[in-house]
A and B are shown apart, each in its own frame.
Chain A
Amino acid sequence: MTQTRARPLQIGRIGELVPRIDAPPKVKGEFAYASDLIVPGMLWGHTLRSPHAHANIRSVDISQALSMPGVHAVLTHDDVPGQKTFGLEFPDQPVLAIDRVLYYGEPVAIVAAEHPEQARRAAERIVVDYEPLAPVADMERATELEDLHPHKPTRGHGYREDDRPNVVRHMVIRHGDTEAAGDVSVEGVYDIGIQDQAFLGPESGLAVPDGEGGVDIHVATQWLHVDRAQVAPCLGLPLEQVRIHLAGVGGAFGGREDLSMQVHGALLALHTNRPVKIVYNREESFTGHVHRHPARIWCEHRATREGRLVNVRMRILLDGGAYASSSTAVASNAASFAVGPYETPNALIESTVVYSNNPPCGAMRGFGAVQTAFAAEAQMDKLAEALEIDPVELRLLNALKPGDVLPTGQVITGSLPIAETIRAAAALEPPPAEAFPRDPLRLPGGAGNTTRGEGVKRGVGFAVGFKNIAYSEGFDDFCAARVRLLADGSAEVHCAAAEVGQGVTGVILQVARTELGIEDVRLAPSQTATVGSAGSASASRMTWMAAGAVRDACRAVLEEQQRRPGEEIDLEQIYRHPRTTPLDPETGQITGERAHVAFAACAMKVVAEVDVELGLSRIVWIGAAQDVGKAINPQQVEGQIEGGTAQGLGLALMEEIQTRDGLITNASFTDYLIPTTLDMPPVESVLIEDPEPDAPYGVKGVGEPPTVVSTAAVAAALRAATGRALTRVPVKPDDICL
């Protein structure tokens, strides 16, 4: 028998610019997203949702719906065979509403029919007798109003005891002398609206019964194994009878961490013994996933006359909406990174996240640090103005560096080149202002033709932000990878890391090719049945974790090959990042070496032109310097910086879910606007490569830092152009010109 040798590696190593294999099909419209799934004989599922933000359910009558043409099943909570509730961290959310609804759009019943239209019409015939209740809609009053979760689902998890109604988590970080006074003090109150992930691919999936009581679920998600861990108990099935397969993901940004159609699709499929597909429409998608927490943040920054921070005092209030989702971690992250990447000897930070009848909030790119960066960076500019110090100099003066202590007591032991990142961004030179007359597309107001230069003022803003990489506070965070070295010399990699558009499949192949020294490496489909958990494509962790696991698996198979040359080798390895420990519930101080694994930063300079008479803006140019550890694929890193910046820019300028008494009033892309190419300028990026000692190849996650900082940086540019305080994002035209 002749053996063919696999091609030795010529291209595709770590650090090389490797074009994405999924880019051409995505650009050409040929990529199969989850919503494109189709199998013969499949039924269509539809979800009946609550029109109320808060109501008791007196009764549900499905008889008319069941008799509609083409209908195969109409299910309510009575039909959930296993656990009736689920949740990413706390199972406080019913699979289908039981005797009450707590938010607008909460699923009440599900229908399967031959045609999606039949399913939709049948859902309209389900008669739900609601008793509407006053909604808890004001987060500032939530702790005094009706307790929506009197059983306190988040109690007993090591958080600070707090008996007030609707407290999901309350934490306090006490650092040094919390009363310490400075020479100067600046105060401010900042508000952040509800941002949506606004992924273009709506929630969708296909559940296929396996004929043996189990089910295969093909779904666009961020973490296959945690979906399985939530779905199986609700179905009353053992884990191995539920197999999750990653379907094409059209964006995630945290919004696919929580379940959407997974349990519903599986229930309908098992009930009808037919494959069932569910695709949310756009309006439904706005109620079908959690959003970024809206926040109100009170700040007082005390400093010396020379500009050194003395004491930072911040109170953070976040509205978690109806269910807990990942709110406890968001509140903690907001507190941990509240001060920004600055050294302060003293701090008092209080962070509270509450339940309400507003849209549920959870993970979104930046995860608590976006909100606090907006507040903290506005404060740093205020401080610079009060002290008459250049804002960049003030930031350099206080910049964190390895060896410094965070307000949680954690000493920075890894890479954190804040000053270098700030200097690199500050050194970027924007192009000079364009002369008039100009094409209206190159003016504030754009295609609307509202100015020929009248009222236009230019401003430059600067900001820096940072956050953690990977899961924190004692979470057992790991990633599995399996490598098969075949007899022909080629290799196959199995890893359940979710490709959500960030390019992790490319990263995995680059790592495997580099480690194995061959080009013939294939990536098997992501699924739960063939490999262990990869953890979530979240928290800027997936590149680090997958690279670690794939590296270790490659090295293990090569070592085994030495012992068994010529044979097929198949090994799975589990990678863990350095262990973290919880924060003390009373002091917010570390209880071990670290609460967070590592940190990454981004500094940004933004040039804005604002028509101050009409309150319209055009962001002209953005320069970013990002602390990336090691760029595995520089092109993808730049793509993440540009995309992440656009998402933060959207929050600064336009993106907000609007509500009235808990009801969403703009659930469409007609009225929830995201930036177009005329709103998002070119980004000039500088990659700062300072290897992270604890990470494989020195990598850091890159997805979140640009989003953390860009909202703050864009707002700073608008302030510079308008002279207005602009303490709330998104900034409305009214805030500028009225």
Chain B
Amino acid sequence: MDVLTPRSLDEALQLKAEHPDAWPIQGGTDVMVALNFDRGRPATMLNLNEVQELRGWWRGDGSLRLGSGLTYAEIEHGELRTVLPALAEASRTVGSPQIRNRGTIGGNLATSSPAGDALPPLLIEDAVVECASVRGTREVPLGDFVTGVKRNALAADELITAVVVAPSGAAQTFMKIGPRNAMVIAVVSLAVSAGDELRASFGSASPKPVLVTAPRAEAAGFPAQVAGAATPIDDVRGTRAYRVHALEVLTRRALERVLA
């Protein structure tokens, strides 16, 4: 196996164009697990850890660009806590401190798991995924980016460079249920905000992230509406019936928080 380590974004995009089958790796918290379980054995790895353009986050005109190499720990502990509170709460639920030091938002998007903790809080904020290649850069709304279970719209020569968000300032929260009190993959998760309208998105309850909205005046029916929008399955982590039930309870509690 070859490991390519570009030093700039241009070089990274060039390498990805030359090696479309290469597996990009940043924090490695998903990729290394996949390698360990022998779910694939790429001939080439593209190590993005030295690409400075992907690190951190910065402000644009009215929006934020979150580099795909932004770690959960950086989201959890930095200024983003106040700007994107649900994303920060979601980041805190990811793995252990060691995992949060390594795992990145770009990796969460690239994996496109229904359980990806960053997806629901980003979806309620209308996040857009910036995909780049030597051909140019395009912006794909998150709802279109994820196309199914662990599938997304990224082309073979593209890399995720950033997530662009215009923070709504709406009151928001994130909640996640797991089979124990820390270090879990979501049995079901939920992000809810109350701005001009009520918005919700959930994890582990549909093949791809779904945005559920309602006028603020219809808060009473919102928990049932959110639960009704879910299409969960029975699996080793939980049952369909439980996930639907839990979504309704969580939405009710979330509304108490964000409408308070």
Contact = CB atoms under 8 A, between A and B. Distances in A.
A388 B185 CA distance: 43
Contacts of A281: 36
B181 A679 contact: yes
Interface in A602-632: 613-616, 618
A673 B184 contact: yes
Given A670-B185, A676-B182, A448 B241 contact: no
A446 interface: yes
B236 A671 contact: yes
B180 A665 contact: no
Given A449-B89, A614-B177, A734-B242, A678 B182 contact: yes
A205 interface: no
B174 interface: yes
Contacts, number: 99
Interface stretch (B17-25, B137-145, B148-156, B246-254): B246-254
B3 interface: no
A446 B175 CA distance: 10
A163 interface: no
Interface string B50-84: 00000000000000000000000000000000000
Interface in B174-210: 174-185, 187, 189
A450 B184 contact: no
A124 B37 CA distance: 14
B259 to A, nearest CB: 14
Interface in A439-453: 441, 444-452
A443 to B, nearest CB: 9
A615 B243 CA distance: 11
A671 B257 CA distance: 31
B38 interface: yes
A410 interface: no
B181 A676 contact: yes
Contacts of A450: 175-177, 250, 253
Contact of A449 (B38, B174, B238, B239): B174
Contacts of B184: 448, 673
B117 to A, nearest CB: 10
A450 B36 CA distance: 32
Interface string B194-238: 000000000000000000000000000000000000000000111
A639 interface: no
Contacts of B256: 454
A316 B128 CA distance: 58
A447 B37 contact: no
Contacts of A738: 241-242, 245
A678 B250 CA distance: 21
A675 B182 CA distance: 9
B232 to A, nearest CB: 13
A522 to B, nearest CB: 38
Contacts of B47: none
B181 A448 contact: yes
A288 to B, nearest CB: 16
Nearest to A619: B181
B178 A448 contact: yes
A673 B179 contact: yes
A454 B178 contact: no
A224 B216 CA distance: 69
A733 B93 CA distance: 19
Contact of B181 (A447, A614, A733, A737): A447
A653 B180 contact: yes
A504 B37 CA distance: 36
Contacts of A444: 181
Interface in A204-224: none
A614 B246 contact: yes
B112 interface: no
Residue among B238, B241, B245, B257 with most chain A CB within 10 A: B245
A283 interface: yes
B173 interface: yes
A679 B89 contact: no
B181 A678 contact: yes
Nearest to A117: B41
A461 B38 CA distance: 44
Interface string A541-572: 00000000000000000000000000000000
B175 A679 contact: no
Given A613-B249, A734-B241, A737-B245, A445 B37 contact: no
B203 to A, nearest CB: 11
Interface string A659-681: 00000011010110101111100
Contacts of A665: 236
Contacts of B236: 658, 665-666, 671
Contact of B93 (A448, A451, A615, A670): A448
A618 B239 CA distance: 21
A676 B176 contact: no
A445 B249 contact: no
A732 B36 CA distance: 29
B16 interface: no
Contacts of A539: none
Contacts of B37: 283, 668
Nearest to B250: A450
Given A448-B176, A448-B178, A676 B183 contact: yes
Nearest to A671: B236
Given A450-B175, A670-B185, A679 B180 contact: yes
A433 B178 CA distance: 24
A97 interface: no
A304 B207 CA distance: 58
Interface string A671-706: 101011111000000000000000000000000000
Contacts of B246: 614, 733, 737
A146 B158 CA distance: 56
A662 to B, nearest CB: 15
Residue among A449, A455, A676, A738 with most chain B CB within 10 A: A449
Nearest to B249: A613
B175 A448 contact: yes
A409 B245 CA distance: 51
Nearest to B237: A671
A185 to B, nearest CB: 34
Given A450-B250, A614-B246, A676 B180 contact: yes
Contacts of B174: 449
Nearest to B245: A738
Contacts of B180: 446, 653-654, 673, 675-676, 678-679
Nearest to A653: B180
Interface in A114-130: 120
A340 B180 CA distance: 29
A654 B256 CA distance: 30
Nearest to B96: A676
A673 B241 CA distance: 21
A618 B173 contact: no
Contacts of A670: 33, 185
Given A666-B236, A671-B237, A734-B242, A445 B177 contact: yes
Given A448-B181, A449-B176, 5 more contacts: A449-B89, A665-B236, A668-B37, A676-B182, A734-B238
19 contacts: A283-B37, A446-B180, A447-B93, A448-B93, A449-B174, A449-B175, A455-B249, A613-B249, A614-B246, A666-B236, A670-B33, A676-B180, A678-B180, A678-B181, A733-B179, A733-B242, A733-B246, A734-B238, A734-B239
Q: Sorted from nearest, which 9 A-B pairs have the closest CB atoms?
A: A446-B181, A678-B181, A448-B176, A678-B182, A447-B182, A666-B236, A734-B242, A450-B175, A613-B249
